[in-house]
Amino acid sequence: MAWRLIDNSRPTMVWLRNHGIRFIPMFGRQSFMVDGKHHFYGGVNIEAVGGGSGLVEAEIRGAADWCEIRYDTAATRLIQDKNKKSRAWKFRVQMALRR
């Protein structure tokens, strides 16, 4: 599973960018200046605009056009086709009672 994540990291970043997620260099936490140039360390040199919360907000904005977001909902099963492509999900929904 780790190798799948590693092997697909660049295509995933391209896909995210093509779907409106913006990225910027991590000048604050992951770089230092040497002779007027930024040097990045730790293998991480970009982040989503707004950090983790910015990434989630952008994903929610993008997904709102084509899916319904349900909070407090557990996925109970992932249904795949013969090529192991995800096609559908089953959910257990907890409905909040309104008073």
For the chain, percent of residues with pLDDT exceeding 90: 11
Mean pLDDT of 18-28: 88
Range of the domain at 46: 2-68
Classify residue 19: in a domain, yes or no: yes
Does residue 90 surpass a pLDDT of 60? no
Mean pLDDT of 19-40: 88
Classify residue 84: in a domain, yes or no: no
Number of domains in the chain: 1
Verdict on whether the full-model pTM lies above 0.85: no
Classify residue 55: in a domain, yes or no: yes
Classify residue 89: in a domain, yes or no: no
Which positions ≥6 away from 45 have C-beta within 8 Å? 25, 26, 30, 31
